[in-house]
Structure formats: structure tokens, C-alpha cells
Amino acid sequence: QAFTELQAKVMDTQQKVKLADLQIEQLTKTKKHAHLTDTEVMMLVDETRMYEGVGRMFILQPKGVIHNQLLEKQKIAEEKIKELE
């Protein structure tokens, strides 16, 4: 009986590790996407009209706001990755 309980705990732990690995992988992709997008945004001229997608509409935003949002997205993803590790 103790062996079956231990085996159940091992399986549960393995599932949690797999889930954490998947979450880390997804967060890494999100961070990389935000970084690449930010790199492209910073190459544009300051007068370029930029829009932020909100639901099913787009809102005109200045370049600085978009840049800050992308940096914040990267920072949040990095913090969550550290928590999961």
C-alpha cells in the first residue's frame, strides 16, 4: 500500500513538472515575441502611427507607450519564468 501511494505521488510530481515546463516554454516564446516586436518598433520613426489591439478594436498610441508595454510584457514573463523554476 505504501508503494502505491509513493507511486501515485511520483506520477503527480511528474505531471506538475511537465506542466511547469510547458508554462516556461510558453512564457519564453511570449518574451521572445515581445522582444522582437520591440526591436522592430524601435527602428521606426517617432512620427509613425501605431495602434494597440484591445479586444476587437485598435487604439492609437504613441511609440513610447507601445515600447513601455512591450518591456513590461518581457519583464512579467521573465518574473514568471523565475517563479516556475
Domain range for 27 is 1-84
Q: What confidence category does residue 85 fall into, taking pLDDT thresholds of 50, 70 and 90? A: confident
pTM for the predicted model, two decimal places: 0.75
- Name the residue type at position 16: K
- Using one digit for the tens of pLDDT, what is the confidence trace for 15-54? 999 999 999 999 999 999 999 999 999 999 988 899 999 9
Predicted local distance difference test score (pLDDT) of residue 1: 76
- Name the residue type at position 68: N
Query: What is the Cα–Cα distance from 77 to 31, expressed in whole angstroms?
Result: 6
**Helix (H), strand (E) at residue 51:** strand 50-54
What average pLDDT score do residues 44-68 get? Answer: 91
Domain count, the chain: 1
